[in-house]
Amino acid sequence: MVSLLHTARAGAASLLLIAAALPFSPALAEDDGFPFGSEMQLDANRQPGSKRIPNLDIGDAGEVVLELWCKGGKGQFSVAGNTVIFVMGAMENRPCPPDRAQQDDELIAALSAAATWKRQGDLVSFIGAKTLRFRINTN
């Protein structure tokens, strides 16, 4: 016959095991994972005379659609742990002022030079010679 004390101990042990495993559940781990399947916007102010802020639309397999200050195009992210590699694909040739085109080129170069990434809530940083911070769109 099972005693009440034995049942209570087994219940308490089960609760402790569940509590210990909870931080490792996939649902909680996704909050800190690379934001595949998300759209992110550069954490920057608008430029004078422009309504655009650069954004990345990252697919589930790491494919990216970029809309920058002026230019747009496609690329690919490869991620392993906190290591990231970004490869720029074809860019659309759009008419734009030389200063915005240069800022787009600098943004692409900084993203391509990033070697690591980190996520803190809705902020994702790509870290290389220059750190770029993007905010994940949650709406």
Instruction: Report residue 107 CA to chain centroid gap.
Output: 16
Q: Is the pLDDT of residue 45 over 90?
A: no
Higher pLDDT, 138 or 60: 60
Sole residue written with tokens 């916007």: 41
Q: Is the pLDDT of residue 111 over 60?
A: yes
Q: Is the pLDDT of residue 13 over 50?
A: no
Here the tokens at position 100 are 């915005």
Q: Is the pLDDT of residue 28 over 90?
A: no
Q: Is the model's pTM score more than 0.85?
A: no
Angstrom distance (rounded) from CA 106 to CA 70: 12
Q: Average of pLDDT values for 18-23?
A: 40
pLDDT band, residue 31 (cuts 50/70/90)? low
Q: Average of pLDDT values for 21-42?
A: 68
- Mean of pLDDT over the chain: 82
SS3 call for 130: coil
| pLDDT score at 3 | 52
Q: What are phi and psi of 21, to 5 degrees?
A: -85, -20
| pLDDT score at 115 | 97
Q: CB under 8 Å to 77, separation ≥6 — which residues?
A: 34, 58, 62, 63, 64, 84, 85, 86
Q: What is the dihedral of CA 72, 65, 88, 53, to 10 degrees?
A: 50
Instruction: Give exposure, 40-73, as e/b (b: 16+ Cβ within 10 Å).
Output: bebeeeeeeeeeebbbbebeeebebebbbbbbbb
